[in-house]
A and B are shown apart, each in its own frame.
Chain A
């Protein structure tokens, strides 16, 4: 599609001007979300059916519609997918199936009607027609995610129509590298990948380091389980990432960049590759960008599936084609990073924010957020909340505002579904209890509360989640992912895992809790990288806020949440059971006794039962009791 190469900034601007006057921007748009989430719910056949149905319309009907269909990136409300949006009306359809497509085309597209049964329903069950009126979106401030879901990631023109590459034009024509650097410093932009390190300072120290050759890297390794904001940006707005990197490279006077994408994100790789090709063909990347004399190019490096490679020094080793082991922190990447040359590494969201800062200025950016954490932050809200998906809010918004605002509150009604904790920061972060729900979400407050911002995963847990089991889960994860270089991390986490597993089995002792704390200190002190240093945080934070739950496991041999297998038994409440037989079919260990018959009831043979919970998961009447 994109064949023209723009020789100068004016060429590009002229093209954008032509695009705007062509009426392209005013066309009605039918957006079909094709992000990873919606694809998983079956968006691909929906998009195909829409495309086909529109193409089959007779020409005399199609032309006056002035409609274009786009396959976009993630809209954020993944749980309700596949999503179809009609713009500019903003009609928002959820859970669309291929069989709904003819109706959408005939009634909505042609007839201008709204199909009520496909609309999103708010908490009271009332259908909401407009995109912007849905509380999930109304309560967000979309800065980094501005284009995601609104454009076709495979189209450069779409990006240009949303002011794409305008920041780059401005930078190339009106700013010196030093001015760009100063603007980033003034915006107090902090890295969105976890540590929250001041990006301006990082850039400055890299630029003042010895050596002519420098590199920049975009960290798209988002390894934190439960976080997928970066994935959705790379998939939905690849040019945004690229533009941010070009601007960064210009400020740093560097000519080679890398985007490191995890192996688990095939769609992100595909979209980035395409966008890089288009940008190169358009003269936005490569030699003499837009005739400015500045040259820069980007290579994609695919990860190999190792969590530790999200750590900057390990990531650089991986780009070099080596085993991803971190190195000591006293060697700064800004001095000796990739191939021992000065390197700046920022994550996906940070690079996109650079574009916004150049567009609208440091003052605008500083107008959002808190004293020490400026701007917005995207979170992936998951777990036991009503609306799982991606939300972007201003820094300083409270946990409660996020979880009960865009998040829509808890998923399950009743006692068991009550809010218990929220886990932030992935395996390096911690679990925060109900008493901290009004905590402001920014880099420093979270760290002070014993957790961390991390890359932005936010996993909500209810009273059916066992905190000891969660701690064990993270330890297991980290033991598995530890690269093995530092003994305290490799062996220490393994021992912690054993101790906590013992507690989960009801074989723990009170002295174990002191042991956990001692050992954690040693691991924190003796590990080189963040994986080890913050590895004990999940255990320590659960121990800090949920000590009672540990004690219930140890002293009473009881798992209050009904999760730890060794401490629970399943039984069937005969009063509730209607003999449907769903549990019988679900049970893999033949532990259910009885024959499916209306009005009859079943029993569980506790000797055979392996407490997998499959029966409870399928029982529609809630007749399976856990004690």
Chain B
């Protein structure tokens, strides 16, 4: 099912760093960003290029939460479940995301549009509860706002996030 991996992009990434084992995490971060996951072929290439055994590469790839071995969706929704968000209703927000998207944290919708993740803290605690859509935080969420957020992200991507803030 997975289309053939274009390894040229991995080579480009490797070209940006000195071929040292210490660069592993940085390289993997860029690989993750490029492919939205870590393809096995890319990991093999990284392993050879940096002189780190494939087992160690997988060790790092599975240890850190930033990495995924399966393709992620076009948009990653990160529901913050940090303490401040928890106290202010994060479980409710996460539940709504799960129901609306039909996936659990760590999974991707079958149409590859959304990945859902539960993360520990995104540093926007004053606006709890918060959901990050890719790199942008959306705060002060309620169940209804979450619904609107998903709708706006599924449809017109460019729509201004502040519009959701009006209304309620």
Contact = CB atoms under 8 A, between A and B. Distances in A.
Interface string A291-323: 000000000011111110000000000111111
A483 B60 CA distance: 12
B25 A264 contact: no
A222 interface: yes
A614 B143 contact: yes
A133 interface: no
A512 B132 CA distance: 38
B71 to A, nearest CB: 18
B21 interface: yes
Contact of A45 (B81, B144, B162): B162
Contacts of A224: 121
B23 interface: yes
B130 to A, nearest CB: 7
Contacts of B25: 301-302, 304, 318, 321
Chain A interface size band reads 35 or more
A614 B147 CA distance: 12
B22 to A, nearest CB: 4
Contacts of A477: 120
Interface string A94-136: 0001100000000000000000000000000000000000000
Given A304-B25, A384-B88, A225 B96 contact: no
A586 B84 contact: no
A323 B124 CA distance: 27
A79 B125 CA distance: 9
B26 A39 contact: no
B137 A225 contact: no
Contacts of A232: 123
Interface string B118-162: 011111111110101001111110111000000000000000111
Contacts of B142: 617-618
B136 to A, nearest CB: 7
Contacts of B125: 225-228, 380, 382, 388, 457
B128 A41 contact: no
B75 interface: no
A309 to B, nearest CB: 8
Nearest to A465: B87
Contact of A40 (B81, B86, B138): B138
Given A321-B21, A461-B87, A222 B123 contact: yes
Given A98-B162, A304-B25, A305-B66, A264 B87 contact: no
A42 interface: yes
B168 to A, nearest CB: 9
A614 B94 CA distance: 11
A304 B161 contact: no
Contacts of A164: none
B106 to A, nearest CB: 12
B29 A304 contact: yes
Contacts, number: 189
Contact of B83 (A39, A46, A457): A457
B119 A264 contact: yes
A37 B143 contact: no
A303 B28 CA distance: 11
B126 A614 contact: no
B128 A228 contact: no
A389 interface: yes
Nearest to B121: A225
Contacts of A46: 162
Contacts of B137: 36-37, 39-40
B166 A97 contact: yes
B66 A226 contact: no
A6 interface: no
A554 B15 CA distance: 60
Contacts of B96: 588, 614
B82 interface: yes
Contacts of B24: 321-322
A320 B25 CA distance: 9
Given A42-B162, A223-B121, A324 B63 contact: yes
A441 to B, nearest CB: 18
Contacts of B128: 382-383, 388
B143 A388 contact: no
B7 interface: no
Interface string A483-495: 1000000000000
Given A42-B162, A97-B162, A383-B84, A614 B92 contact: yes
Contacts of A264: 119, 121-123, 132
Given A40-B136, A304-B65, A323-B59, A618 B82 contact: no
A361 interface: no
B120 A223 contact: yes
Given A461-B87, A612-B92, 7 more contacts: A42-B165, A98-B160, A321-B60, A382-B128, A457-B125, A473-B86, A617-B89
13 contacts: A40-B130, A41-B139, A97-B166, A226-B84, A227-B121, A305-B119, A321-B21, A321-B22, A321-B25, A323-B60, A324-B63, A380-B126, A382-B125
**In the A-B complex, the 10 residue pairs with the closest CB atoms:** A304-B64, A225-B82, A42-B162, A305-B65, A78-B126, A40-B137, A382-B84, A225-B121, A388-B126, A321-B24
